[in-house]
Amino acid sequence: MANIENQKFIALDISRKNYLSWVLDVKLHLSAKKLRHTIDEDNAASNKERATALIFLSHHIDDGLEYEYLTVENPLELWKNLNDRFEHLKAVVLSNVLNDWSQLRFQDFKTVSEYNSTLFKIAS
C-alpha cells in the first residue's frame, strides 16, 4: 500500500521489539485525532472514522504485518489481533525489568546522572 499519510512515529516492528511503546503512541495519536473510540469495545464509530483509524493503523505497522492483516476491515478487529499476538510481551518485559531493578546499584555508576538515566529507563 502506498502511504497516504506520513508516519507519525516508528511503525510496529514484526520482531515485537517496540510493541509497548507503539501501543502508547497509537492510543495518544488516535486520541488526538478523536478516533480513540474506534479501538474500544462496543463503539459507535461511523464508517468514515473506522476507515480513517484503519488507514492510520495500517500505516504504522511493519509491511509484513500489514500484508498478514490485509483482509481486516475494522480497526477494532486489527487492534485485537495485534494485541492477541503481542500482549504476552508485558509479562516478558516485566520480568526483565524486575531483574534489572534488583540488580541496580548506585555504586555501579560513575555519576548520579547515569544512575538516574538508568533508573528512569527501568521505571518507564
Q: Which residue has the higher pLDDT, 104 or 62?
A: 62
Interatomic CA distance for residues 108 and 124, integer angstroms: 20
pTM here is 0.66
Which band of pLDDT confidence, cut at 50, 70 and 90, is reported for residue 32?
Answer: very high
Q: Are 39 and 80 in contact (CB under 8 A)?
A: no
30 has pLDDT over 90: yes
63 has pLDDT over 70: yes
How many Cβ atoms sit within 10 Å of the Cβ of residue 105? 8
- What is the domain partition of the chain in residue ranges? 18-123
In this structure, the chain runs to a length of 124
How many Cβ atoms sit within 10 Å of the Cβ of residue 62? 15
Q: Are 59 and 41 in contact (CB under 8 A)?
A: no
